[in-house]
Amino acid sequence: MSGPNTNYDPVQVTPLNADEVERMVAEALAAIQAAGDTAALKAARLDHAGERSPLALANREIGALPPQARKEAGQRVGQARGQVNKAIAAREVELKAVELEQRLASETVDMTVPVDVHPVGALHPVTALMDMMVDVFVSMGWELAEGPELETEWFNFDALNLHPDHPARALADTLWIDPVEDGKLLRTSTSPVQVHTMLERREPPIYIVSPGKVYRADEYDATHLPVFHQIEGLCVDKGITMAHLRGTLDHFARAMFGDVRTRMRPHYFPFTEPSAEVDLECFVCHGESVGNPDRPCRTCKSEGWIEWGGCGVVNPRVLRAAGIDPEVYSGFAFGMGVDRTVMFRNSATDLRDFVEGDIRFSRSLLGGAR
Ligand code: DAH
């Protein structure tokens, strides 16, 4: 019968010898230190502190040692494992801090960067231009006047000297409101505002401008819209003549287009007498393109002049219909198409762009004026 193997030399059990354990620890510590992120650290933990790690395997060998050797080997391996676990925990704290730091940096929101979360729209070029036009007159002491878009036949036609049998009345492609017998319609021009204003004010002097929507049963195409805009002007005072009209339109033209002249061509409107069409000297070529094929002008189509609107001395019949004595007062009136003006002023070629609601159109004209 053999006694206990007192001669057993623990050095013989390789994984448990001090140098070997030290080497395992050094290897584990190096791997832990080398782990650059928590994923790498997880792998290092599995390799060096997991169930199949060299130290865990060494731990299992302890049972095979003679009892007197177990204590020392147990202490050595236990300490080694403790050291490795501590290093893992410390590295984990470090790496988590670094990773948190990186995440915060990558998710940083610069609160000072201007953002268009709710983009502010631009004023429609027609609205912006109407505002500019009104400003020209308001700065001369004129007032802004408004009138209804749903009109009566009397304001839209009769009071403006277009009697039922008047040929000009047939010219207007009027949008009537059902039933037609009621004589209600969508105004075909801003001219009825003249009559509303004169009836409301009763006594001149009257100096008003009135921009707004007008309606005609026109085709919807590049040069026609069934809804478009005009600006109306009316002045009624003592001693007003065509010369005042001329001076006012010249000032208006210069305020809008710079150094340009206007010219008048005789025309017919039932509500003015005499009447004229007013043309604007081309503000781009100033007439230089006329008869000069080398220098064509898109704005005036090389005509030198641009048709701008209608005007004239207020017909005494209109004054009378509005309760103003034409023996005492006289006046002038004018009306321009605003959409047309935007077209030639900003080289817009298709009126349909005006109503299709693409904000890029509004932004591109008038510098996105707000
Ligand atoms: N009402 C005219 C139109 O729609 C424009 C116009 C012409 C207005 C002469 C006026 C004027 O006040 O005097 O074509």
Q: What is the pLDDT of residues 13-44, one digit of tens each?
A: 677 788 889 999 999 999 999 999 999 999 99
% of the chain surpassing 70 pLDDT:
94
Q: In what order do the strands lie in the sheet with 184-186?
A: 150-152, 184-186, 175-176
For ligand 1, atom 14: residue with the closest CA: 310
For ligand 1, atom 13: residue with the closest CA: 311
Q: What pLDDT score was predicted for residue 5?
A: 53
| CA 237/CA 205 separation, integer angstroms | 5
Query: Mean pLDDT score of the chain, rounded to an integer?
Result: 90
Which of 334, 339, 340, 341 best tests ligand 1's pocket when mutated (most atoms within 8 Å of CB)? 334
The CB-based long-range contact list for 27-32 (8 Å cut-off, 24+ gap) reads 27/54, 28/53, 28/55, 28/84, 28/87, 29/83, 29/84, 29/87, 32/84, 32/87, 32/88, 32/91
Q: What pLDDT score was predicted for residue 239?
A: 97
For ligand 1, atom 7: residue with the closest CA: 310
Q: Which atom of ligand 1 is nearest to the CA of 194?
A: 12
Q: What pLDDT score was predicted for residue 166?
A: 73
Range picked from 4-8, 20-24, 244-248 for highest mean pLDDT:
244-248
For ligand 1, atom 12: residue with the closest CA: 334
| Strand, helix or coil for residue 164 | coil
pLDDT digits (tens, 9 = 90+) for 208-240: 999 999 999 888 999 899 999 999 999 999 999
Ligand 1 in reach of 312 Cβ (< 6 A): yes
Is residue 199 within 8 A of residue 323, CB to CB? The reply is: yes
Inform me whether the pLDDT recorded for 249 exceeds 60: yes
Ligand 1 in reach of 186 Cβ (< 6 A): no
Place of tokens 């409101």: 177
Inform me whether the pLDDT recorded for 331 exceeds 60: yes
Determine the distance separating the centroid of ligand 1 and the alpha carbon of 357, expressed in angstroms: 28
Determine the distance separating the centroid of ligand 1 and the alpha carbon of 206, expressed in angstroms: 17
For ligand 1, atom 4: residue with the closest CA: 189
Q: How confident is the model at residue 12 (pLDDT cuts 50, 70, 90)?
A: low
Which of 191, 236, 267 best tests ligand 1's pocket when mutated (most atoms within 8 Å of CB)? 191
Place of tokens 């510590």: 29
Q: What pLDDT score was predicted for residue 165?
A: 80
Structure tokens at 119: 């983009």
308 class by beta-carbon count within 10 Å (0-12 exposed, 13-18 middle, 19+ buried): buried
Buried residues in 79-88 as b, exposed as e (16+ CB within 10 A): ebbeebbebb
**Sign (positive or negative) of CA dihedral 173, 174, 180, 181:** negative
DSSP 229-245: EEEEEEEEETT--HHHH
Which of 311, 319, 330, 338 best tests ligand 1's pocket when mutated (most atoms within 8 Å of CB)? 311
Ligand 1 in reach of 193 Cβ (< 6 A): no
Q: What pLDDT score was predicted for residue 9?
A: 55
Q: CA of 292: how far to CAs of 23, 260, 301, in Å?
A: 98, 20, 11
Determine the distance separating the centroid of ligand 1 and the alpha carbon of 74, expressed in angstroms: 110
Ligand 1 in reach of 337 Cβ (< 6 A): no
Q: CA of 314: how far to CAs of 122, 147, 157, 164, in Å?
A: 37, 19, 15, 20
357 forms beta bridges with: none
Q: What pLDDT score was predicted for residue 369?
A: 41
| Strand, helix or coil for residue 307 | strand
Is residue 106 within 8 A of residue 353, CB to CB? The reply is: no
pLDDT digits (tens, 9 = 90+) for 141-198: 999 999 999 999 999 999 999 888 876 566 558 999 999 889 999 999 999 999 999 9
Ligand 1 in reach of 197 Cβ (< 6 A): no
Cis peptide before 179 (omega within 30 of 0): yes
Q: Which atom of ligand 1 is nearest to the CA of 336?
A: 5
Which of 137, 189, 245, 278 best tests ligand 1's pocket when mutated (most atoms within 8 Å of CB)? 189
Determine the distance separating the centroid of ligand 1 and the alpha carbon of 20, expressed in angstroms: 108
pLDDT digits (tens, 9 = 90+) for 78-113: 999 999 999 999 999 999 999 999 999 999 988 888
- Helix or strand holding residue 213 (H, E): strand 206-215
% of the chain surpassing 90 pLDDT:
73
Ligand 1 in reach of 269 Cβ (< 6 A): yes
Q: What pLDDT score was predicted for residue 368?
A: 41
Determine the distance separating the centroid of ligand 1 and the alpha carbon of 295, expressed in angstroms: 33
Determine the distance separating the centroid of ligand 1 and the alpha carbon of 49, expressed in angstroms: 95
Determine the distance separating the centroid of ligand 1 and the alpha carbon of 311, expressed in angstroms: 6
